[in-house]
Amino acid sequence: MSDIPLPILGIDLLADETQLRAGAVRSAVNVDIGNSGAFKRRDGYTVVDSTDSFTGIHAFNGVVYVGMGTNLCRLNTTTYALTVICGMGTEAPIEFTEYNGDLYVCGPRALWRITGGVAKPVGVQIPSLPTAVPHASGTLTPGRYGVAISIVDASGEESPAVMLGYLNLTAGLRLEALPVVADHKWRVYVTPPDGDVLYLAEEFDAMLSQYAVTVYPGGAPCQTLNLHPMPPGDFVCAKAGRLYVAAGDTLWFSEALRPHLTSPRHNFVRFVGRIRFVELVEGGAFVGDDRGVWWMAGTDPSGWAQSLVSSSLAVRRSSLIVPAEDLPGDSSGDCAVWLSTQGYMVGAPGGSVRPLQPGRIKLSPDLEGRSVFITRDGIKQVITLTAASPATSFGVALDTSTQ
């Protein structure tokens, strides 16, 4: 059998059976193909749960988190028992990203941050608004004052500031019906008389039901007015002090150094159709939509320069980050890899895109997939499990040896 060429090129789905190039095969099931073309059978697996209600899985700090139905659960890897951590609001695929020592979990109805194994909603919310009324004593100059309030949690994170209104004051103001929240602080922002810029006037423990502000505001300007917590969505990722969430055709980004807050008036980019993937690399981001894959150049998303770098549609949810040293070619740094209608694509820092299997694979644009990068017996592989979108019983697994 020495005259049979070894399949070092991997799988070719497009060429005629009699026209396969030397080094390619039509299919290879449950085997790995090394650089020399030698076959090695893969290890088997054991089914521990055959339900079709799993929506995602991620290992973080020694804990395996699993999406199950409408919940996010912790998996006991010995007994395979699931413990509910939080609700996701709907049964839909969920995405994970690790940032700043925490794990973020995103779905269409919920966005959570897991810290120390405890899930908290992303962003601090004011439980309910107090009422601002004039106070008879104080040293405020008579005039018309704007008043806003925010709350700060135990970690020092501030909520969006909310306007309580404008008051005509002669001496001071009083906040009434303040919610009592343990381990939190209230911040009160006030404008100068007949002014429009809010400045910090008071910060106090959220253990009082009313509080009087009687002195002129002398603190820093308010930075969180008109901001909102980051919305839930289909994808979540983070880089350089910002959180990014893709929801439908919109990519939201947070304020700089305030990863949980966004401006609903400014901090978004629209695409065409549902966003298929988002990956952040050095110098910008790759985003797939119904036109192809876009390179968003720049480190500040409010000033991104947008250019189409691939007209091949991406398989939705199939992207991941792979170090350049684990990929063929001369790129450096972390690269984005995704499965497209023309096979796997690599997006390098700077925005260049190249195919890994040019002319050998063609897929439907209506697939969704989940990808993983593994090294097995020295063979580096990207493996993607795909299914029709929305998911049905149909599916096909594709993989490629990267070296």
| Residue 176 included in any domain | yes
Domain co-membership, 30 together with 76: no
Question: Residue 34 above 80 pLDDT?
Answer: no
Helix (H, G, I), strand (E, B) or coil at 195: coil
Domain co-membership, 283 together with 335: yes
Closest listed residue to residue 273, CA positions, set 366, 371, 369: 366
Distances (CA, A) of 139 to 161, 265, 280, 336: 24, 37, 52, 59
| Residue 219 included in any domain | no
Domain co-membership, 153 together with 36: no
pLDDT for residue 3: 57
Contact (CB, 8 A) for 208 and 143: no
Q: How many domains does the chain have?
A: 3
Give the residue numbers spanning the domain of 138. Answer: 131-213
Domain co-membership, 17 together with 35: yes
Instruction: Write out the two tokens for 111.
Output: 């966005």
List alpha helices for 97-174, DSSP H.
Answer: none
pLDDT > 70: what percent of the chain?
Answer: 95
pLDDT for residue 122: 98
Closest listed residue to residue 52, CA positions, set 65, 64, 66, 69: 69
Domain co-membership, 204 together with 234: no
| Residue 278 included in any domain | yes
Mean pLDDT of the chain: 91
| Residue 144 included in any domain | yes
Q: What is the DSSP string of 48-84?
A: S---S-EEEEEEETTEEEEEETTEEEEE-TTT--EEE
Q: How far apart are CA 189 and CA 124, in angstroms?
A: 17
Structure confidence by residue, pLDDT tens digits, 94-130: 999 999 999 999 999 999 999 999 999 999 999 999 9
Contact (CB, 8 A) for 135 and 213: yes
Domain co-membership, 353 together with 234: yes
Question: Residue 401 above 60 pLDDT?
Answer: no
Domain co-membership, 194 together with 119: no
Structure confidence by residue, pLDDT tens digits, 180-234: 999 999 999 999 999 999 999 999 999 999 999 999 999 999 999 999 999 999 9
Structure confidence by residue, pLDDT tens digits, 141-168: 999 999 999 999 999 999 999 999 999 9
Domain co-membership, 202 together with 235: no
| Residue 387 included in any domain | no
Question: Domain holding 87: CATH number?
Answer: 2.130.10.10
pTM: 0.88
pLDDT band at 396 (very low <50, low <70, confident <90, very high): very low
| Residue 252 included in any domain | yes
Domain co-membership, 112 together with 94: yes
